[in-house]
Chain A
Amino acid sequence: MAGLRRGAGPDAYVVSGTLEGVDGPGRRTVRELDVRGLGPDAVGGLSALPAFGDLEDLTLERVHGVDLAPLAQTGVRGLRLLDIAELDLAVLAELKLEGLLIAEFRDCAMPATLRLSASLRGLSIFNDGPSLSGDDVRILVERIDWSLLGGLRMLDLSVGGNHELAPAVVDLGFLRHLPELVTLRMEDGVVHAGPGPSPLEPPFAGLSRKLRWVRVSAVDPEPLKAALEAFIAPPRDDGDGPQGVTVYQREAAAPAEPAWTIREFEGDDGFGVYGSLQQALGQGSEETEYKVVKRVRALIASADPALLKRLDFDPEAGGTGIYAERRQDLEGVLRILGLGR
């Protein structure tokens, strides 16, 4: 039976695997709850959530095939859906949210028109992972009724960034419904295609005049950056969040290299693979890359101790490089870990 355990912040709690046996917060004040690793076989699903009367912020991570309907009976203001699949997002229309983040999602059902609450102030939607697609982002963006979101202050759409994914091609004309927008981030994998000109190109028709931080990409960044800087509100020294304009060089979508491809380094540096072991083998965001590397080393040591001695690990928070003098050694590692081809 799972139980609530303390999370990082005050009044923050985490529950993993199942909510079975969790009737509610008990004597605790639970304002922030992370529910991790819930599948369709989890007894009771999310039905315990309405008992959490103080709940303000909810994260559902690695949740798939679960009924989200109980969310409608909670008072959550901030919702993060991370690494989700096979969920029906129609319930989002019943929540009075201020912040919503949907990231790393696939195969989710949604109504033809998704009417999010007018109280929404921040919205982030992105997909970035080896088995994910920009098409899911496109469909979600097209289904949202943007005319209801006049009070939105932060919008963040992206596809890829760490992984090469085909961009989401959407009509950015919806930006004209967002006059209060202060922060706009769309630097990765979102491309305009619609009947009218892009609001992100001069003369920026329909783009919020209140923008303070813009982060986009363009084939020719410099002229766009200059034009945007002339368009948006001048920077203020008030410490209220980031501000300014960043226009990155838009990269042509390169053909996606299979994950964990073995590459031969120049000179006599041998062979190597690089990727996020945390994303491939981790147990969610509570496990860092370094922690997963320890687990992986133990796994290799038990399978082939001699092989481990011939490997050189170079981890960082975002991924791990594994190096060896011989290609066969890396092939052996990938075989043990079940990665790559």
Chain B
Amino acid sequence: MTRTELTIRSTKNQVKPSLLAEAKPLLRSLGKLGKAVSSGVIGALVGALIGADSTSCYDQPETTRDVDALAQQAFRPASRAIRAAGRARRGRTGGPRRRLQQAQAALNKLGVDLDRFLQNHQDPKCQAYALVAEHGLEPAKKAVARSLTYLDGIDQGERDDARHKAQTISRRKRVGKVRCEEAGKLGDQLPKGAGERNYVVYWSPPPPPNSDVKYVGISRSLKRRCQAHPDERSRNLETLNLPLLTFSEAKQVEESLIAHFGPRRESRNGAPKGTNRGQLRNRIHAVSPDRPDYCPQLLAGQSLLVVSPGYLAYADAMFTRNHRCLGVGHPR
């Protein structure tokens, strides 16, 4: 009996109609992922359902239960991860992506375990049991891979949108690199009042070297801000040569820079607390990484840095309290 024959016989005989009915809503929700992904999911489901209900290897119940468990540990999370990917929205792809990656690892492990099972069990009835699961493995892997590609597409769309907005902003008049001595002249050129494009972003001292930067901030009244800061900070303060920004745009760039250099009380992402502390004197973030809209705000600020000549190197976010989102790492 060939492997395919075994699989078909097992499938026809053992899939319960009730279980397929149960799977219908799941399959409907996968429409977004396209035909290839859906067929992969069917393969994954078949593997899981057969694995759960097959009784062909009567004489070795313990062994078959082991295969049951192995198959379910891989196929069910894969199905759920694909379903979650189908529901993913912009700015919310991190969780589904992690689940898919975990599912990918579980499927790879299942492949190794099934090969070992087939080598150790020569009885065709037992082998049939594992072969059904193995048959679902490749389509499931493909489905997971396509789901990851689908998430990449969502991310790329989000990046493109953020970049497009940043490019539109970057066409505005630029501030130039202004130090405190010239802050009065700058103030005369800016529109007055809240809600206007009158914000500048500054750092003190400016890079390079990058390790010198101690403080980043924003202001719409730079002359007064220069007088309020300690002499040492004001003496070295310089604005970034960015377009004139609104308050929210400036805050987003400020957060990007804080996430790059690091607030003084926080450790770099992935480092144990207390090590790799941020280099800034800024105590806290401009936008809290706890906020649900942190990722889009960070990405918007990073995108402005990316499209502004000379600031690409400062768009890496390394201090986000381990918050993972599209903008963490490099935004490209």
Contacts and interface: CB of A to CB of B under 8 A. Distances in A.
A238 interface: no
Interface string B23-64: 000000000000000000000000000000000000000000
Contact of B288 (A77, A246, A287, A319): A287
15 contacts: A7-B290, A9-B324, A12-B321, A78-B267, A78-B271, A98-B274, A101-B277, A123-B274, A126-B264, A215-B211, A244-B209, A263-B227, A265-B224, A318-B282, A323-B221
Nearest to B294: A8
Contacts of B229: 274
A279 B210 CA distance: 27
A242 interface: yes
Interface stretch (B7-15, B134-142, B212-220): B212-220
A321 B221 contact: yes
B211 A246 contact: yes
A92 to B, nearest CB: 11
A57 interface: yes
Interface of A: 7-10, 12, 14, 32, 56-59, 77-80, 82, 97-101, 103, 121-124, 126, 128, 153-154, 156, 161-162, 164, 185, 213, 215, 241-244, 246, 248-249, 251, 254, 263, 265-267, 269, 272-274, 276, 278-279, 285-291, 312, 314, 316-319, 321, 323
A131 to B, nearest CB: 15
Contacts of A286: 288, 290
Contacts of B264: 103, 126, 128, 161
Contact of A314 (B214, B220, B275, B284): B220
B87 interface: no
A274 B224 CA distance: 10
* Secondary structure of the B contact surface, majority rule: loop
Given A10-B324, A321-B225, 9 more contacts: A8-B323, A9-B322, A57-B272, A98-B272, A101-B277, A154-B275, A161-B214, A251-B232, A316-B217
A272 B322 contact: no
B285 interface: yes
Contacts of B224: 265, 269, 272, 314, 321, 323
A99 B223 contact: no
A79 B273 CA distance: 6
B322 A12 contact: yes
A56 B272 CA distance: 8
B70 interface: no
Given A97-B274, A100-B274, A314 B283 contact: no
